[in-house]
């Protein structure tokens, strides 16, 4: 699940199938922000930092490719 945005006391999250879930911010792991990738394990949300890093790198590559094509 990816944190799409945080609105006050709730985080709007999206599952892999595109389903939206509303999660109380207090239930999120410390440090979770927009774009954080979360997994439900042992009755709590866990951040998947390696997957988050991988996805951010992929987005950066796509953006760089886009900017290179515009030049």
Q: What is the mean pLDDT of residues 4-15?
A: 96
Summarised one tens digit per residue, pLDDT across range 25-44 is 999 999 999 999 999 999 99
Q: How many CB atoms lie within 10 A of CB 71?
A: 4
Helices (H), the chain: 49-70
Q: Which two tokens stand for residue 15?
A: 């599952």
| CB 30, CB 23: distance < 8 Å | no
Say if residues 27 and 45 touch (Cβ distance below 8 Å): yes
Whole-structure pTM value:
0.79
Give the residue-averaged pLDDT of 43-58: 93
- The domains of the chain are located at 2-70
């Amino acid at each position: 699940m990816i944190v799409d945005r945080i609105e006050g006391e709730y985080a709007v999250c999206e599952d892999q199938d595109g389903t939206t879930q509303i999660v109380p911010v207090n239930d999120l792991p410390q440090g979770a922000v927009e774009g954080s990738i979360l997994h439900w394990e042992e009755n709590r949300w866990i951040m998947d930092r390696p997957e988050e890093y991988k996805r951010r790198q992929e987005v950066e590559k796509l953006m760089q490719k886009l900017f290179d094509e515009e030049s």
